[in-house]
Amino acid sequence: MKTHYIAVLGFILVSFCNVHILGDKFDFEVDGTVFVRLKHYLSDDGNPEDRGNITIQSIRTGSVALSHAGLAPHHITRLKALAKNDQIYRLQATVVSANNKMVEFFTFMKACGLVESALSDVLTISLDHSGSVVAVSLSAPFVHCQGEIPVDHKLRYFNTTVIVKHMDVGPVPDTATYIQKMEREREARERGDPKDNRSFLAKYWMYIVPLLIFVLLSSAGQPEGGAGGAAPAR
């Protein structure tokens, strides 16, 4: 019935589509698409309701298409109630990979975080070495839950950032660079230290100049001091 209501109000729309890929580029043997269906729980008990869909068009590039249902006013009320009671907002993500395999993931965040960010959440989809989804997690990275609930019309549409996170490539002991460095050092040693054929002045000016200044200063001070010293003798 609720989905029907949403359909009637025509809240389905393609929302902001901020996509990032993190990590070193991990080469997958095969590229593929992943479809994620999102359902959320707007109360502690009860059934999940449709939130929207995400299609990762290419797991290699991480390009994502996003479609979200907005929140109807009574959904907003329920969400705000969750936030007010410091409860959690749960999300169920059904991931359908290229070979039509369905895997369910759960994630959650503090409802206050979602409300106070005005539904600007970040959905991170982590992939493993083979490109299959390992985790879907929800967060609001910059919201501190200080109890400032925005006005209702800001809570109507999701502004979701989807991050497709690849695995980083593990480090390998870097023998090549080290050997090169050793090679260079050995060559340097064999050649001996490079002859420093700058002039004496060029090499040691930083010592000579202050010395000169010192001498000048003290000699400039001399007559004055001499006069001062002579004064009592008069």
Partner 1 sequence: MASRTNKKYKWALDFSTRRSSQDIASPPGFNPAVGQAHTEASKENDPSHLIIKKSWELALAPLKQVPMNLFIMYMAGNSISPFPIMMVGMLLIRPFKALFTLQSTFKMIEGNHAIMQKLVYFLGNIVGMLLALYKCQSMGLLPSHSSDWLAFIDPPVRLEYSGGGISLA
Partner 2 sequence: MMARHLNLFIFMPQVFIILFSIFTVSQCLYEDQVGKFDWHQSFIGKLKFAFGDASGKRAIVATELNVVAALSLKTGNILWRHILEKDPQTNILFLSPTSSGEALVVTGGPKPLVRAFDPINGALAWEWTLPSTFPFDRILWAVSTEKLYALSLNEGEDFVVQQFNIRTGSQTSKWKTIVPWVHKSKCVPSRDLLICHSGKTLHTIRFSQKDAKPYPVELGQPIAQIESVKSGEKAGVFVDLSNLESGPSSQVVLFSDQGQTSVKCKPLSSPARWVFFDSVGESNIILQMVQRDEKLSIVTSDCISGNKIEESTGGVKYPADLGPPHVESVVCGSNHDMASCRLLINSPDQAITLVQYSGKVLWSREEALAQISAVEMMDLPVSDKDAAIEKEFDSKEAGVLGMFGRRLVSQALQAQHLLQTVFGLHDPIQPAGQRADLVRDDFGLHKMIVVATKAGKLFGLDNLNGEIIWQKALVNVDTRSMQLFIQRTTRHGPFPAQCLLLLKDKISKESILYTFNPITGEGSRRSLGYRVLQAMPLPVVDEESLRPILFLDSSEKVHIEPQSAISLVDPLASNTYMYVADPVTGVMTGYTLAQSTSERLVASRVWEVVFQPETQTIQSVVGKSPQERVHSQGRVLGDRSVLYKYVNPNLVAVVTQGTDTVHKYVLNVYLLDVVSGAIVFSISHKRAREPIHLVHTENWVVYTYFSEKWRRTEIAAIELYEGKTQSNSGTFSSLIAPVQPMVERQSYILPAMVQSMSPTITEKGITSRHILVGLANGAVLEVPWIFLDPRRPVTVTPEMREEGIIPYMPELPIPTESVINYNKTLPQISGIHTAPSGLESTSLVLVYGLDLFYTRVAPSKTFDLLKEDFDPFLISMVLIGLGLASYTTKRLASRKALKQAWK
**Residues of the shown chain interacting with partner 1 in the complex, contacts defined by CB under 8 A:** 210, 213-214, 217, 221, 228
Name which of 152 and 185 has its Cβ closer to partner 2.
Answer: 185
Query: Which of partner 1, partner 2, none sits in contact with 34, Cβ below 5 to 8 A by type?
Result: none
**Residue 214 contact among partner 2, partner 1, none, beta carbon within 5 to 8 Å by kind:** partner 1
Beta-sheet pairing, 161-165 with 122-127: parallel
List of residues 6+ apart from 140 with CB closer than 8 A: 109, 110, 113, 114, 116, 117, 120, 121, 122
Where residue 115 falls (left for φ over 0; alpha for ψ -120 to 50; beta otherwise) is: alpha
Q: By the criterion CB under 8 A, which residues form the site for partner 2?
A: 26, 29, 44, 86-88, 90, 103-110, 113, 124, 126, 128-130, 132-135, 137, 139-145, 165, 167-175, 177-179, 181-183, 186
| Minimum distance of partner 1 from residue 224's CB (angstroms) | 9
Is 162 in contact with 66 (CB distance < 8 Å)?
yes
Q: Which does 29 bind (CB under 5 to 8 A by kind): partner 2, partner 1, none?
A: partner 2
Shortest Å distance, C-beta 191 to partner 2: 17
Q: How far is the CB of 41 from partner 1 (least distance, A)?
A: 20
Toward partner 1, which CB reaches closer, 150 or 228? 228
Cβ distance to partner 1 smaller for residue 7 or 213: 213
Q: Shortest Cβ distance from residue 219 to partner 1 (Å)?
A: 13
User: By C-beta, is 106 or 214 nearer to partner 2?
Assistant: 106
Q: Cα separation of 88 and 108, whole Å? A: 7
Tokens of 171: 């480090």
- Pair 96, 104: CB distance under 8 Å: no
Neighbours of 155 (CB within 10 A): 22
Identify whether the C-beta of residue 56 lies closer than 8 Å to the C-beta of residue 33.
yes
| Block residue for tokens 């109890």 | 147
Structure tokens at 95: 């991931």
177/197 with CB nearer partner 2: 177
Q: Which does 210 bind (CB under 5 to 8 A by kind): partner 2, partner 1, none?
A: partner 1
